[in-house]
Structure 1
Amino acid sequence: MRYGKLAEAQAHFNLTERAFRKLCNRTLKFDDITEKDCVLNVDQKGVDMKIGLDIASLAYKHQVNQIVLISGDSNFVLAAKLARREGMDFILDPLGAPIKPDLFEHIDGLNTCDSKYRNTTFKK
């Protein structure tokens, strides 16, 4: 598990979908919006880079035989490709999220640890 830095300068509040619909339907007035109608949106920065470096390090040092990446982010295409080129078995667990073809091309298997997505398990 890797933690990034919170991009506090980019943090912002968004309306919930329910509040937005009410505003559009005019069943909620702008002046009546409360804290419950908003959600804080803060992104982490640098996590993908840290995980990619970890994968590269493990691959080059041949410290493991298999990596299971819990993500569906296509930012990991190059890391998956590198790991496989170094002889590692690269398994992806996107937790039910769709994955792009360019990432799918560079994995050895697709599996999930979340029981509600278990029926999607297969090996390429």
Structure 2
Amino acid sequence: MSKTAILVDGGFYRKRASHLWGKHSPEETADGLVHYCYRHLKERHATHDLYRIFYYDCPPISKKMYHPLLGKTIDLGQHEQFKWMNDFLSELKQRRKVALRLGVLDDSNSVYTLKYDAIKKLCSGSLSRDDLKESDFVPTITQKGVDMKIGIDIASLAYKKQVEQIVLIAGDSDFVPAAKLARREGVDIVLDSLDQPVKENLFEHIDGKRSCGNPYTIKSRKDMNAYKL
């Protein structure tokens, strides 16, 4: 039975999962993520043994940021998302076979920016400055170290021959160089973009692409407790 490592780009997964399956509590989200990953171990022609689930993300920041529309400072540490994210990471730590790889958020260059849809409407004239709402703005905070950690882990797993297969849950082509290296070392690279279209140049550097469906079905919920410590 071949060993499989599953690498999850956390920022991508959280955003995409919320879009596909709705919002859930930190505990439910952690359960859903792990259960979703375990589905990758069973294919039509083979069953794989899990080496580990590597989850890459950043802890939330508690910075106070100036909101240009409201004209006041917003304390992100008091925001509901701050508590949710901390609780979610804490829940993942309690799941079997899950390793957290945490980067940092660049709080020195974080600002509130207009959402893309609001910018389009402003430029087309269908939205005026007086029509702007607080929800039209979003904190823009850059991750640091996450992509590098993913690339290093892919290379390490391949060079040390620790796994025969790597499943990468991500949505972009930033990891093509690492994927190419792993394939040259004989590792089977499977991409899961959660049914999101990917760039054509990525297909030539992977061995397969698959997604595993909604992990929050009634039948799935019965199996989730098996993954807790």
TM range (shorter): 0.7 to 0.9
Matched with 2:121 is: 21
CA contact 1:92–1:109 (8 Å) conserved in 2: yes
Q: 1:62 aligns with which of 161, 173, 189?
A: 161
Cα offsets for 1:29-75 (capped at 9, x unmatched): 1xx64433321121212211110000000000110111000113211
Cα root mean square deviation, aligned: 2.3
Structure 1 residue 78, shift from structure 2 partner? 1.1
After TM superposition, the structure 1 = structure 2 runs for residues 73-84 of structure 1, keeping only pairs within 5 Å, are 73-84=172-183
Q: TM-score, normalised by structure 1?
A: 0.76
Structure 1 residue 28, shift from structure 2 partner? 4.9
Q: 1:2 aligns with which of 56, 63, 73?
A: 56
Residue 98 in 1 paired to residue 152 in 2?
no
Tell me, in whole angstroms, the C-alpha distance in 1 between the residues paired with 2:198 and 2:142: 21
Matched with 2:135 is: 36
How many residue pairs align between the two structures?
A: 113
Tell me, in whole angstroms, the C-alpha distance in 1 between the residues paired with 2:180 and 2:127: 51
Of 92-101 and 44-53, more deviation after overlay is shown by: 92-101
CA contact 1:76–1:103 (8 Å) conserved in 2: no
Shift in CA distance, 21/51, structure 1 to aligned 2, threshold 3 Å:
same
Structure 1 residue 91, shift from structure 2 partner? 0.1
Q: Which structure 1 segments of 5+ residues have no match?
A: 116-124
Tell me, in whole angstroms, the C-alpha distance in 1 between the residues paired with 2:128 and 2:156: 55
Structure 1 residue 99, shift from structure 2 partner? 1.9
Cα offsets for 1:14-41 (capped at 9, x unmatched): 2243586368335551xx6443332112
Higher relative contact order, chain-length normalized (CA < 8 Å, sep 6+): 2
CA contact 2:118–2:127 (8 Å) conserved in 1: no
SS in 1 for 2:138: strand
Q: Which structure 2 segments of 5+ residues have no match?
A: 1-54, 58-102, 215-229
Shift in CA distance, 20/84, structure 1 to aligned 2, threshold 3 Å:
closer
Q: TM-score, normalised by structure 2?
A: 0.44
